[in-house]
Amino acid sequence: MSSAQVVDALRLMLLSRAVDDRLIKLQRMGRVGVYGPVHGQEAAVIGSAMALDPNRDWIVPASREHPAMLRHGLPLKNMFATYMGNFDAAAVPEGVRLLPRQQAIGAQLPHATGLAWALKLRRTGGVVAVYFGEGASSEGDFHEASNLAGVMRVPLVMLLINNHYAISTPLHRQTAAVNLAARAEGYGFPGFVVDGNDLLAVYSTTVDAVNRALAGEGPTLIECRTYRMGFHNTSDNPKEYRDSAEVDEAEQRDPIERVRRFATREGIWSAGQEAAALDEIRSEIETAQRQVEALPKPGAAAIFEHVYETLPPRLQQQKSEAMDDARPR
Amino acid sequence: MSIAASDQAEQSILEAIRGALFDEMARDERVMVLGMDVGQLGGVFRVTRGLMEKFGPERVVDTPLAEGAIVGASLGLAIGGMVPVAEVQFLGFTHQAFHQIGPQLARYRFRSRGRFHAQVTIRAPFGGGVRTPEFHPDAIEAQFSQEPGIKIVCPAFPDDAKGLLLEAIRDPDPVLYLEPQRLYRSVRGQVPPGDHTVPFGTSRTVREGKDVLLVAWSAAVHLCLAAAEELSKGGIEASVLDLRTLVPLDVAGLIAAVEKTSKVVVVHEAPLTGGFGAEIVATIQEEAFGSLDAPIRRVASRDTPYPPGSMEDHFLPTVRRIVAAARTTVEF
């Protein structure tokens, strides 16, 4: 990673943490439904995303990879719209190589395999990077998608963000395996374990996997070992199932602090730069939030849009009923 | 056996499907066929026989045995610019792919707010009467009707098999295309040559009769035709309406047919409770209550798990049960 990339990554990490804080605050004020913070996983998500070329590669996210999505071209405004109840404004813009967030655990994995397969068939170049958690690795979709990816030798980078908790279920209840990367061997491709709180290690491991995929050597599984420092989402209270000592210990390995120390030591980051970056970030967040707040709320008709390309007669009728119901009287 | 069968005048349903696949793969190089045993073997029913030789192993792909991945990867392939026609070996095997069909494939256009759509056809044989083991005959089409975003298509004749399949492959939205395995080879008929498509949401009256309307889809249409012949011997003339697609449903065509006879029997191979017949009956009473002269009756499979093949005659709708239901309705 070049110095400039380290600075970009650190800035993105700070943005991610600030977005977490803002959306949690908005949720507590009743203006956001549910939000799952990235807190603690920034190095794993951003280090891997930095290894991708937004003009060539695709990202297939799970649901906690906002900084990767932003880096790949999703506007911050669209991300805020996702959580502030405006699904049309949340859409991935045309031309951005990014699939929507996936709420069904692991269901995005076969999509990623298929998309990577299409890149191979159409000889467009590029790779697909798919994110998922250690919980998803227990799903059948993980096995089916990995197996198919191995057989078809598709250009796929599988980023297993092992944050040690699936809501309340700890890693040792999720698997008896010593590591999850070893599963790759069973599918006929390599797997690596990497310190997911080490930005540079995640980056270089992902770069290698991308290069393998681009060279036609097929998929790679990367298990990024990290820790979910925050809650699963704003409806969750981790104090009910994990020790605060464990979280305190994780704080010592805060991925942002590690990059900050590294960059400062390298002479490419300073307290002054950080203060300036945080000011910019605050204003970007302010702008994104205001833009979403200024949007009209989607009306009843919106739920009938994009069900099919052409609305069948039965749905046309339901649409006019719903619009009539929604009319103030 | 003819391979490029689409210029043949009289064809079986199986030949019509195969011919449509040949034609469409030749016309559009994005179209690919994937599934278990579809390539080398040509499918367990040989529907896709010859495709791999003609179009090569990149476009006709034998996949690992994993229905969820076949469907899920098809969605990804479609996003990446291909037009997948996935075969799930039997509709009953979609139990293991349901989460990828309903909540994923069907909703992807909606979830992405139109940024992505899934031009994917899932072909799946289904239906009883051929003494297959459990799961192979399951008629679970109604389950998919609760998943908005996917269309459900069920041809009963060779011409519709071709026309609806071409329409399905070209449809920008996902289509579940259900093939009546019992009729694959036994039903033959004229198939229009060339580019023949049948628009979705158009039912077809396959027999005219003034006394009672029999409503069905897929293999049950042929049971209704046999029952209509039987009824005719006793002086009752039945109309038979083939719905052809369940989603979208041809409500206008259904109601027009109901208004002509005022008496209706709905027939399907799925178990009675929660079957798509319930939707048909509910729709008729909402839209045409005034033109009914008798309660609508349903003839369906029994509400039991699918029994062993040797027992399926006790389970499935039969000509005898349809005739009895039609008589009761007419004599009401």
Question: Which CATH number goes with the domain that contains B321?
Answer: 3.40.50.920
Q: Is A123 exposed, middle or buried (0-12, 13-18, 19+ CB in 10 A)?
A: exposed
Residue-wise pLDDT tens digits, B131-180: 998 889 999 999 999 999 999 999 999 999 999 999 999 999 999 999 99
What is the rounded distance in angstroms from the CA atom of residue B75 to the CA atom of residue B216? 31
- Can B136 be counted among the known catalytic residues? yes
Going along chain A from its start, the domains and CATH numbers come out as 3-298 (3.40.50.970), 299-329 (no CATH)
Pairwise CB contact (< 8 Å): A309 & B172: yes
Return the pLDDT at B216.
98
Pairwise CB contact (< 8 Å): A107 & B69: no
**Average pLDDT score over chain A:** 97
What is the rounded distance in angstroms from the CA atom of residue B68 to the CA atom of residue B101? 8
Same domain, B75 and B45: yes
Using CA coordinates, name the residue in chain B closest to A59: B76
Domain housing B274: 204-330
Return the pLDDT at B1.
41
Provide, rounded to the nearest whole percent, the portion of chain A with pLDDT above 70: 100
| A140-152 helix and A108-122 helix, angle to the nearest 10 degrees | 10
Pairwise CB contact (< 8 Å): B69 & A145: yes
Return the pLDDT at A7.
98
ipTM of the complex: 0.96
Same domain, B77 and B166: yes
Pairwise CB contact (< 8 Å): A115 & B79: yes
Across the range B184-204, mean pLDDT stands at 97
Pairwise CB contact (< 8 Å): A111 & B148: no
Asked if the bond preceding B248 is cis, omega within 30° of 0, the reply is: yes
pLDDT at residue A89 is higher than 60 = yes
Question: What is the nearest CA distance from B123 to chain A, expressed in angstroms?
Answer: 18
Using CA coordinates, name the residue in chain B closest to A95: B115
Domain count, chain B: 2
Question: What is the nearest CA distance from A115 to chain B, expressed in angstroms?
Answer: 4
Geometric angle at alpha carbon B144, from B138 and B149, rounded to 5°: 155
Same domain, B254 and B307: yes
Residue-wise pLDDT tens digits, A282-293: 999 999 999 999
Q: Which residues of B touch A106 (CB under 8 A)?
A: none
For tokens 């459900």, the residue is: B152
Residue B196 lies in a domain: no
- Whether A88 has its CB under 8 Å from any CB of chain B: the answer is yes
Q: Which residues of B touch A306 (CB under 8 A)?
A: 109-110, 112-114
pLDDT at residue B2 is higher than 60 = no
Pairwise CB contact (< 8 Å): A308 & B149: yes
pLDDT at residue B4 is higher than 80 = no
- Domain CATH for B9: 3.40.50.970
Stated pTM of the model: 0.96
Same domain, B253 and B321: yes
Q: Which residues of A are known to be catalytic? A: 228, 232, 241
Question: What is the nearest CA distance from B82 to chain A, expressed in angstroms?
Answer: 7
What is the rounded distance in angstroms from the CA atom of residue A211 to the CA atom of residue A218? 10
Q: Which residues of A touch B103 (CB under 8 A)?
A: 104, 107
Q: Establish how many alpha carbons lie within 13 A of residue A262's alpha carbon, considering only the half-sphere containing its beta carbon.
A: 18
